[in-house]
């Protein structure tokens, strides 16, 4: 049985939206799931408006703790701290998969990309990752960032309908300017069908694509 460690920077995917655990249960049914949470590091990044060396070190230590616990593979569930996982990869000896890596590769094929977020710290890292994957493919798409202010706090407060309506309104407005919408927060995964219907565009969300990449990477590593 493979041990899959998930790194979290919020309890949202442990208590409020168990989408990641559900997807791992579906796509890697024999996995033993380990959760590692630093519920303050994201707040620190928001407060400092950047990823400091100290915040990066905390994510590296989280990955090292996962490896020490016997993890066969590590899955990072936080897009905002995604850049720190490059350092984490160098610090551990097991594969590290970012939740939004596969989504970024898919999004990079479009010309006008809208990145929709409910947490401001995710806009930059998600856009940068898409731009990097586009550059890998020799492309230079136009990336438009859009924030849903207050939506994440509304969700954490237990008001799902309120959160969903706020995201829907921003997505509908953003759709006028772009060819595809990328949901920068995995917590918006539930809204893909609704947003595609309301906007008429393809809407990309990271959890399923990320866990599919996790499953492939685990199979390759175990072969």
pLDDT in tens, 23-68: 999 999 999 999 998 888 888 887 887 888 898 999 999 999 999 9
- Comparing 23 with 81, the larger pLDDT belongs to 23
Of 221 and 180, more confident: 180
Q: Inform me whether the pLDDT recorded for 13 exceeds 80.
A: no
16 falls in which pLDDT band (50, 70, 90)? low
Quick one: pLDDT band at residue 152, thresholds 50, 70, 90? confident
What's the pLDDT at 48?
84
Average pLDDT, the chain: 91
> Which residue would you say has higher pLDDT here, 55 or 115?
115
Q: Provide the pLDDT for residue 179.
A: 97
pLDDT exceeds cutoff 80 at 167? yes
- pLDDT 10s digits, 116-149: 999 888 888 899 999 999 999 999 999 999 999 9
Radius of gyration of the chain (CA): 17
Identify the structural domains of the chain with CATH numbers, from first to last: 3-99+208-222 (3.40.50.1860), 101-205 (3.40.50.1860)
pLDDT at 17 > cutoff 70: no
Cα gap 58→53, rounded to integer Å:
9
Would the pLDDT of 223 be above 80? no
What would the pLDDT profile of 89-110 be if each residue is shown by its tens digit? Answer: 999 999 999 999 999 999 999 9
pLDDT at 12: 64
For the chain, first and last CA: distance in Å? Answer: 14
């Amino acid at each position: 049985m493979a041990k899959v460690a998930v790194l979290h920077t919020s309890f949202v995917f442990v208590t409020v939206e168990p989408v990641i655990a559900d997807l791992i249960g579906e796509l890697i049914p024999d996995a033993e799931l380990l959760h590692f949470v630093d519920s303050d590091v994201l707040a620190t990044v928001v407060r400092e408006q950047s990823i400091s060396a100290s915040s990066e070190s905390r994510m590296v230590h989280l990955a090292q703790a996962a490896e020490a616990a016997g993890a066969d593979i590590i899955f990072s569930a936080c897009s905002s701290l995604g850049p720190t996982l490059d350092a984490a990869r160098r610090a551990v000896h097991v594969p590290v998969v970012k939740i939004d890596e596969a989504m970024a590769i898919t999004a990079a094929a479009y010309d006008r990309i809208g990145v929709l977020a409910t947490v401001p710290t995710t806009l930059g890292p998600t856009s940068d990752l898409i731009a990097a994957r586009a550059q890998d493919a020799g492309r230079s798409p136009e990336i438009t960032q859009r924030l849903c202010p207050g939506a994440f706090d509304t969700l954490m407060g237990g008001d799902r309908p309120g959160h969903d309506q706020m995201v829907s309104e921003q997505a509908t407005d953003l759709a006028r300017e772009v060819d595809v919408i990328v949901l920068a927060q995995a917590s918006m995964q539930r809204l893909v069908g609704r947003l595609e219907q309301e906007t008429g565009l393809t809407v990309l969300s990271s959890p399923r694509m990320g866990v599919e990449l996790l499953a492939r990477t685990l199979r390759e590593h175990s072969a």
